[in-house]
Each structure stands twice: as C-alpha cells, then as structure tokens.
C-alpha cells in the first residue's frame, strides 16, 4: 500500500450492546460525509457487539476530526462507543 493511500485509510470501531440499526446509522453518516467503506466485519465477543470498518477518507467532505466528533455524537445517541483512528496506528503497533 502506498504512503499516500495509507494516510487516507482509517479504522472505525463500534463496541456496545447489539441493537437494530447500528450499521445503518453508521453507514448513513459515512455516506453523507463521502466516506467509502472498504471492508466491514462484525462479531459478538464476550456478549459485546463489535464492528470494525476499514474506510477510505480520500473523498471525505470534512476532516477526520469533525468526523470523529460526529461519530462520537452518534455513539452517544445509540449508547455505543464509536471511534475512528488513522490506520497508521494499527500498522505501527502490529507490523514490523
């Protein structure tokens, strides 16, 4: 993966109690912001709903800080935790 693209990939993690409409709500917000979802996986880990999305921020309309605020706000509404982080952090920690 090139340096340029790497910079624009982010990881969104959604953790909390499962309920109807989580994926829909998150995807809707991302679509409105021009953020493309590259990969999505979800699982129930120790009774906790966990969703991980790899997203592409290349055509994003706002910037990652505003998007982080909006996702946090959405998370508060749905009573779940939603975080977005540059993919670089996972790359740094888990790849040599």
Partner 1 sequence: MFNEFEILETIRMFQEQHLDVRTITMGISLMDCATSDSKQTSQRIYDKICKQAEHLVQTGEDISREYGIPIIHKRISVTPISLVAASGETNDYTCYARALDRAAAEVGVNFIGGFSALVQKGYSNSDRALLASIPEALATTELVCSSVNLATSRTGINMDAVRDMGEIILKTAELTADRDALGCCKLVVFANAPEDNPFMAGAFLGPGEPECVINVGVSGPGVVKHALESARGQNLGVVAETIKKAAFKITRVGQLVAREASRRLDVPFGIIDLSLAPTPVVGDSIARILEEFGLETCGAWGTTAALAMLNDAVKKGGTMASSFVGGLSGAFIPVSEDEGMIAAVNSGALSLEKLEAMTCVCSVGIDMVAIPGDTPAEIISGIIADEMAIGTFNNKTTAVRIIPVPGKNVGDTVSYGGLLGSAPIMSVNQASPAEFIKRGGRIPAPIHSMRN
Note the residues at the interface with partner 1 (CB under 8 A): 11, 13, 15, 39, 41, 43, 45, 50, 52, 54, 64-65, 68, 81, 83-94
Smallest distance, Å, CB 69 to partner 1? 9
Of 24 and 43, nearer to partner 1 (C-beta) is 43
Nearer to partner 1, 31 or 89 (CB): 89
- Return d(Cα 67, Cα 33) in angstroms, integer: 8
CB nearer to partner 1: give 65 or 77.
65
92 vs 75: CA distance, rounded Å: 27
Q: How far apart (Å, rounded) are the C-alpha atoms in residues 17 and 64? A: 25
CB of 27 to partner 1, least distance (A): 19
In the complex, least distance from residue 20 CB atom to partner 1, rounded to whole angstroms = 22
Residue 59: is it exposed, middle or buried by C-beta count within 10 angstroms (0-12/13-18/19+)?
exposed
């Amino acid at each position: 993966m090139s340096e340029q693209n790497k910079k624009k990939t982010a990881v969104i993690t959604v953790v909390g109690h499962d309920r109807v409409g989580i994926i829909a709500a998150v995807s809707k917000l991302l679509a409105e912001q021009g953020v493309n979802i590259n990969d999505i996986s979800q699982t129930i880990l120790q009774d906790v709903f966990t969703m991980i999305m790899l997203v592409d921020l290349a055509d994003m309309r706002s910037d990652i800080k505003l998007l982080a605020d909006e996702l946090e706000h959405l998370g508060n509404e749905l009573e779940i935790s939603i975080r977005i982080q540059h993919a670089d952090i996972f790359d740094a920690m888990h790849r040599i």
